Amino acid sequence: MKKNKSAIKRVIQSEKRRLRNSHVKSTMKTNIKKVLLALKDRNQEVIESTLKTAVAYIDRAASKRVIHRNNAARRVSRLTKRVNAFLRGAEAQR
């Protein structure tokens, strides 16, 4: 165990941050998976609503600096690209 006060405080702070960051990341990934499952189910309304929440969670993770902003932009871009491809296909079948 660390001896001086500042080292002990840093250990405690970093552990708190690690737990908070892992929760934010986990929630973000869960919401991304919900979008992908909705794409498999082919339910347009569910896809649009889950995409909106997933993008919000990705942006929130980036604003809290849990993930890098470029990483967030890439995730949003890829997810949106998949959803748009599905929606274009759904419109073509109508």
What is the pLDDT of the chain when averaged over all its residues? 93
Mean pLDDT of 2-7: 87
- Predicted confidence band at 90 (pLDDT cuts at 50, 70, 90)? confident
Alpha helices by DSSP H, listed for the chain, are 5-41, 44-63, 69-93
| Mean predicted confidence (pLDDT) in 7-26 | 96
Q: How many residues does the chain have?
A: 94
**pLDDT confidence of 94, banded at 50, 70, 90?**
low
Confidence of residue 41 (pLDDT cuts 50, 70, 90): very high
Q: What is the CATH number for 29?
A: 1.20.58.110
Is the pLDDT confidence value at 55 over 90? yes
Q: Give the total number of structural domains in the chain.
A: 1
Domain that residue 74 falls in: 5-93
